[in-house]
């Protein structure tokens, strides 16, 4: 049996557990994560492996073979293919980076993936990794700006029928142990410095105009969804007669919901670079500093948002509010929404940034969930 690599290029096939496999895990942890499939040749032929022995070696390495530990960032699952067992190692971005092979100097033991290859990093790479390597902790750090006000966010909670009284701010993650505002509070505040830019392009690909979404992040999220919904609202299908006429969209709405949520929750807000949505006639591209989770190589595998989201409390807030347009499933649903269509979403990672592209295709209103 031969299997093919997923399109996001963050899956590696290797026949056995080896030093190269160890370097692959380190490289994934220092980047945006990935899957290492042990028991598969590089050409995709399934040869199988001793799962118990392989899984034990991988987890022992994650616990004791690297520094800092990857105990909470690595898990192993068995997948049966053609009567053989493949050990699929899921590697999430390290909670702290750079991750290094234990007992080896950093300039020799720190690896990253570039253009599909594993390479040792330079001193400049290590210093940059130290600077941005704790993005998972960013939302709970103390905010540098005070006082903060929450007029818009309070209104959003009121509209959802939820309380936003100060007594629940600690529970939501807006206050630290000392009672000071966190970076998550800054995102929800009227003083939020982060913005989203929308760039609009004509059908011939030339730039037309730009718009800017500012204010509390929840308000930006609502504004982005409404703006894109307006642009891609249902329209009559001219290719059907009057009796069979039905409405079509320019893409699955479930995919748009998921894309916006991941665009918001997987952004690295420690970076001053604006998040951008490019609106073309045939596609939408979401671009931001940060990292999206890797696409699972097998349908049986699903990543929970709690596992791979750097802004977990922000994601929890969106689920708690459950506003129209954000009630959707996990990352796999983004691709499932295009399962019956010729075109597919495209995910790219480069220079600590991600690009998520949704093709615009005609979808009958009755064909999607």
Give Cβ neighbours of residue 171 (< 8 Å, ≥ 6 apart).
none
Structure tokens at 17: 């557990």
CA angle at residue 94 from 326 to 333, to 5 degrees?
A: 30
Tokens linked to 331: 């990352």
Q: How many CB atoms lie within 10 A of CB 115?
A: 7
Nearest Cα neighbor of 32 from 364, 347, 259 is 347
The pLDDT of residue 136 is: 55
Q: Among candidates 308, 320, 327, 326, which has minimal Cα distance to 172?
A: 320
Residue 15: its pLDDT value, please?
A: 95
Quote the pLDDT of residue 248.
47
Q: Are 88 and 35 in contact (CB under 8 A)?
A: yes
The angle at the Cα of 24, spanning 72 to 93, to the nearest 5 degrees, equals 35
Neighbours of 207 (CB within 10 A): 10
- Rounded to an integer, what distance in angstroms lies between the CA atom of residue 345 and that of residue 356? 7
Give the pLDDT of the chain (369 residues) as one tens digit per residue. Answer: 888 877 667 899 999 999 999 999 999 988 888 999 999 999 999 999 999 999 999 999 999 999 999 998 899 999 999 899 999 999 988 877 789 999 887 667 888 888 778 888 877 666 665 555 555 578 989 998 878 999 999 999 999 889 999 999 999 999 998 899 999 999 999 999 999 999 999 999 999 999 999 999 999 999 999 899 887 665 555 554 544 444 445 567 778 888 898 899 999 998 889 999 999 988 999 999 988 877 788 877 776 666 678 888 998 888 888 654 444 456 667 777 888 888 888 888 876 789 999 998 765 544 443
3-state percent helix, strand, coil for the chain, nearest multiple of 5:
30, 25, 45
Mark out the alpha helices in the chain (DSSP H runs).
19-29, 51-64, 106-109, 123-132, 151-159, 169-172, 183-188, 217-231, 253-265, 305-308, 312-321, 332-336
Say which residue the tokens 């290797």 belong to. Answer: 14
Q: Is omega for the bond preceding 61 within 30 degrees of 0, making it cis?
A: no
Q: Which of 310, 49, 298 is nearest to 21 (CA)?
A: 49
Beta strands at 66-67 and 74-81: parallel, antiparallel or unpaired: unpaired
Rounded to whole angstroms, the Cα distance separating 159 from 120 reads: 51
- Say how far apart CA 256 and CA 225 lie, in whole Å: 8
If DSSP states are collapsed to H, E and C, what string results for 132-200? HCCHHHHHHCECCCCCCCCHHHHHHHHHCCCCCCHHHHHHHCCECCCCCEEHHHHHHCCCCCCCEEEEE
Place of tokens 């609202």: 233
236, containing H or E segment? strand 235-236
């Amino acid at each position: 049996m031969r299997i093919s690599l997923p399109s996001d290029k963050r899956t590696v096939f290797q026949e056995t557990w080896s030093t190269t496999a160890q370097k692959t895990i380190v490289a994934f942890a220092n980047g945006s994560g990935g899957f290492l499939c042990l028991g598969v040749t590089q050409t995709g032929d399934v040869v199988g492996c001793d799962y118990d022995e392989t899984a034990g070696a991988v987890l022992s390495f994650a616990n004791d073979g690297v520094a800092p530990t990857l105990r909470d960032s690595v898990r192993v699952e068995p997948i049966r293919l053609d009567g053989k067992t493949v050990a699929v190692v899921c590697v999430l971005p390290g909670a702290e980076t750079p991750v290094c092979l234990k007992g080896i100097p950093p300039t020799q033991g720190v690896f990253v993936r570039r253009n599909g290859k594993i390479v040792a990093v330079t001193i400049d790479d290590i210093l940059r990794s130290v600077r941005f390597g704790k993005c998972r902790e960013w939302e709970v750090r103390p905010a540098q700006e005070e006082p903060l006000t929450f007029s818009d966010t309070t209104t959003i909670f009121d509209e959802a029928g939820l309380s936003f009284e100060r007594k629940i701010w600690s529970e939501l993650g807006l206050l630290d142990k000392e009672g000071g505002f966190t970076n998550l509070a800054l995102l929800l505040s009227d003083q939020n410095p982060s913005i989203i830019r929308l760039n609009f392009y004509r059908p011939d690909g030339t730039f037309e105009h730009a718009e800017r979404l500012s204010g509390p992040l929840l308000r930006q999220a609502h504004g982005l969804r409404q703006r894109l919904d307006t642009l891609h609202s249902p329209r009559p299908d001219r290719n059907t007669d009057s009796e069979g006429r039905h409405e079509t969209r320019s893409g699955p709405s479930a995919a748009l919901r998921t894309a916006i949520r991941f665009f918001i929750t997987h952004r690295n807000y420690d970076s001053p670079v604006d998040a951008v949505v490019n609106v073309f006639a045939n596609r939408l591209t979401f671009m931001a500093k940060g990292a999206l989770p890797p696409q699972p190589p097998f349908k049986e595998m699903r990543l929970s948002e709690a596992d791979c989201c750097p802004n977990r409390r922000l994601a929890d807030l969106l689920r708690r509010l459950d506003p129209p347009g954000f009630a959707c499933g996990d990352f796999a649903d983004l691709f499932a929404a295009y399962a019956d269509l010729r075109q597919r979403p495209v995910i790219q990672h480069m220079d600590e940034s991600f690009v998520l592209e949704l093709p615009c295709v005609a979808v009958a209103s009755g064909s999607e969930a």
